[in-house]
Amino acid sequence: MIISIASGKGGTGKTTVSTNLTLALGDRVELLDCDVEEPNAHLFLKPEIEQTRRVETPVPKVDLEKCTFCKKCQEICRFNALAVVGKQVLVFSELCHSCGGCMLVCPEKAISEVGRELGVLNFGNRDGIRFINGLMRVGEAMSPPLIKQVRANANPDKITLIDAPPGTSCPVIAAMNDTDFVLLVTEPTPFGLHDLKLAVEAVKLLGIPAGLVVNRADLGTDDVYRYAEQENLPILLSIPFDRRIAEAYSRGKLIVEEMPEWREKFVGLFEQIETIVNRSKAQLCANS
């Protein structure tokens, strides 16, 4: 089972939920931190990093000796990553999406591929819990290719938890796509509700079952709860605004470590997700 943990905006407690859920479930899960622009799950889970691997993506390199400057490569590239200017072919590798189209259309076989560094993958472990995060190279503009690399290393024998990037654009879609469940973390404030609505629309487009965790649940207004009811989104866990939780967070500690009674609550959260996923799979089978 693959569960992505997402939020419409940063700072709602998404990583708090993903890391506590991970530790509560123990070595039957793995955590993939796909927030590759600013991964921070490792600061709380504290895995021992055992291996770091550099990740590249192929981009074109033009051999000007063979090139006839026909512009076919420039014409096929919908990302404007190539420009034929006089007797030069300029490659804007930061814009390249590595589709390979230019190489295929070049009649002179003048284009070969070279690697552009996207970032690194870190592989770690904490008490048998497998951990992977991606860290984007400074200056790199596109995170989805690195997110896909993090996900490509998932172990199908484990329950995979994905800490998705915040927001609702391409990176979060890359993290949520092809998962069994999206756990949305929100807070009962007008900003929380605004961004939750955007996230729910994205999840609906992907057709994945979803549920909510309301963080700092006793602050703010009732609007998030009303919206959840209206959208038929189950609230699977409420985390109150509690001084002990805030203190644990500020010391880089997990709630389930500092307040063991929360371990059961996070296990209960997973059991509810499991029930919804099984029900949804049964429904799909019945409809097919």
Site for ligand SF4, rule CB under 6 A: 60, 62, 67-73, 76-77, 79, 81-82, 84, 89, 96-102, 106, 108, 110-111
Cα–Cα distance, 195 to 141 (Å, whole number) = 23
Nearest residue (CB) to ligand SF4, 98 versus 168: 98
Backbone phi, psi, residue 59, to 5°: -130, 155
Nearest residue (CB) to ligand SF4, 59 versus 213: 59
Please choose, from the candidates 268, 198, 276, 277, the residue with its C-alpha nearest in 3D space to the C-alpha of residue 239: 268
Helix (H, G, I), strand (E, B) or coil at 62: strand
Please choose, from the candidates 59, 143, 68, the residue with its C-alpha nearest in 3D space to the C-alpha of residue 101: 59
CA 247 to chain centre: 27
Cα–Cα distance, 180 to 207 (Å, whole number) = 10
| Shortest distance in whole angstroms from residue 223 CB to ligand SF4 | 43
| Shortest distance in whole angstroms from residue 67 CB to ligand SF4 | 3
Cα–Cα distance, 164 to 7 (Å, whole number) = 8
Nearest residue (CB) to ligand SF4, 45 versus 96: 96
In this structure, the chain runs to a length of 288
| Shortest distance in whole angstroms from residue 105 CB to ligand SF4 | 6
Nearest residue (CB) to ligand SF4, 92 versus 241: 92
| Shortest distance in whole angstroms from residue 63 CB to ligand SF4 | 8
Nearest residue (CB) to ligand SF4, 11 versus 100: 100
| Shortest distance in whole angstroms from residue 171 CB to ligand SF4 | 18
